[in-house]
Amino acid sequence: MVTLKELSTEELFASGHRLCAGCGEGIINRMTMKALRGPTIIVAATGCSEVATTIYPYTSWRVSWVHVAFENAAAVASGIVEAYKAMAKRGAWNKKVDVIAMAGDGGTYDIGIQALSGALERGHDFLYICYDNEAYMNTGIQRSGATPHAADTTTSPAGSVIPGKPEWKKDLIGICAAHGIEYAATASPAYWSDFIMKVRKGIEVNGPAVIDVLSPCPLGWRHDSARSIELVRLAVETRYFPIYEFERGKYKLNFTVPKPKPVEEFLKAQGRFSHLFKPTYRKDVIDEIQRNVDANWNRIQKLCAQT
């Protein structure tokens, strides 16, 4: 764990960007910058962070930052990592460069999963951070492979017959771990020290590393923007979003949450689940979500015990 006093006071992610109040991405960007160890290049996928922090001719980034497209942050990062290697070989370069790709859950779980899988398989030395706000928020809240069951989005609307997204969230960490990479983890910005340590660990790993960080979105989750951090803490306290690591083949829960709160507390704080409470209280759906939360927790616990 890192203490506040140990953190650099240098702000490599400048204020004045145009992200919403209470947006998790600005917080995640700033914390990520606090974890750097040297020369770093950020590769951004298209998304809120990209459009709100680099409106030409302004930029919030005091490190070199590259955006190419939506689905290819991992591929662009691959090219950058390999290019520096080759230039070092011919003597044109002699520094270690850290490369961090940052993409939303749409750009990671869905349209970017192929590029990510390819890059993990090839083993390029880079860190991939997924801002997981559980839907395509930049384009107006469409469902993604990371959107939780029953969430109301513009493409999985809560109707009178179907109560929001019928499917369940993809297991990104499982997919990444299956590539045999050295490090993958989940994080919540509510636990800043844990997140910053994980970013640093991901940078230091020799090879690809992935962090899926829960990113509150007041617009898409429809919650009070002043409660963003409280909400992503509640996500952990309800075991809705377990914080764990996969390191060199071993799983470890970073927060064991001995007395979990009911997931209902997390759900009812957000407009995207409001149809489960009004006009009718959908105990059946809430119970189903609770059962899924419990099952997922048990699954991770088992993985921790087995490895």
Partner 1 sequence: MTIVGLTGDEAVAYAVKQSRVDIVAAYPITPQTIMVERFSKYVADGEVHTAYACVESEHSALSACIGASLTGARVFTATASQGLALMHEMLYIASGLRCPIVMGVANRALSAPINIHGDHSDMMGSRDSGWVQIYAENAQEAYDWTILAFKIAEDKDVQLPVSVNLDGFIISHSMEGVDVLADETVNRFLRLRKPLLTIDLEKPVTVGALCLPDYYFEFKRQQAEAMQNTRGVLDKACREYRGVSGRSYSALETFEMEDAQAAIICLGSTAGTARQVARKLRAQGKKVGVVKLWLYRPFPTEEIRAAAKNVEALAVFDRAVSFGAPYGALCSDVVSALHTVEESPKIFNVIYGLGGRDIQPSDIELVFNEVLKTAQTGIVKEPTMFLGVRE
Phi–psi pair at 181, nearest 5 degrees: -75, 165
Q: Which residues contact 124 (CB under 8 A, 6 or more apart)?
A: 77, 78, 81, 82, 99, 207, 208
DSSP 124-183: -S-EEEEEE-SSBTTTT-B--TTSPTT---SSS-B-SSSBS--S----HHHHHHTTT-SE
Contact 122, 75 (CB under 8 A): no
Please state the closest distance from residue 129 (CB atom) to partner 1, in A: 17
Please state the closest distance from residue 227 (CB atom) to partner 1, in A: 29
By the rule CB under 8 A, 71 interacts with partner 1? yes
By the rule CB under 8 A, 78 interacts with partner 1? yes
The count of residues interacting with partner 1 (CB under 8 A) is 49
Q: What is the dihedral of CA 205, 208, 213, 215, to 10 degrees?
A: 130
By the rule CB under 8 A, 63 interacts with partner 1? yes
By the rule CB under 8 A, 61 interacts with partner 1? yes
Given the rule CB under 8 A, which of 69-77, 186-194, 196-204, 267-275 is the region that contacts partner 1?
Answer: 69-77
By the rule CB under 8 A, 114 interacts with partner 1? yes
Cα–Cα distances in angstroms (integers) from residue 47 to residues 114, 129, 162, 230, in the given order: 18, 13, 28, 24
Contact 144, 134 (CB under 8 A): yes
Pick 11 or 284: Cβ nearer partner 1: 11
By the rule CB under 8 A, 267 interacts with partner 1? no
By the rule CB under 8 A, 20 interacts with partner 1? no
Please state the closest distance from residue 35 (CB atom) to partner 1, in A: 17
Scanning 110-171, the segments in alpha helix (DSSP H) are 113-122
Phi–psi pair at 213, nearest 5 degrees: -110, 125
Pick 94 or 306: Cβ nearer partner 1: 94
Its sign, for the CA torsion 284, 261, 173, 256, is negative
| DSSP assigned state of 199 | H
By the rule CB under 8 A, 62 interacts with partner 1? yes
Pick 40 or 290: Cβ nearer partner 1: 40
Contact 166, 173 (CB under 8 A): no
By the rule CB under 8 A, 137 interacts with partner 1? no
- Choosing from 75, 130, 176, 211, the residue that interacts with partner 1 (CB under 8 A) is 75
By the rule CB under 8 A, 190 interacts with partner 1? no
Pick 111 or 150: Cβ nearer partner 1: 111
Whole-angstrom Cα distance, residue 184 to residue 246? 5
Please state the closest distance from residue 85 (CB atom) to partner 1, in A: 5
Q: What is the dihedral of CA 281, 282, 283, 285, to 10 degrees?
A: -160
Structure tokens at 257: 């949450």
By the rule CB under 8 A, 118 interacts with partner 1? yes
Please state the closest distance from residue 44 (CB atom) to partner 1, in A: 8
Pick 85 or 250: Cβ nearer partner 1: 85
Residues that bind partner 1 (CB under 8 A): 39-41, 43-44, 50-51, 54-57, 59, 61-69, 71-72, 74-80, 82-87, 89-90, 92, 95, 97, 114-115, 117-119, 121-122, 124
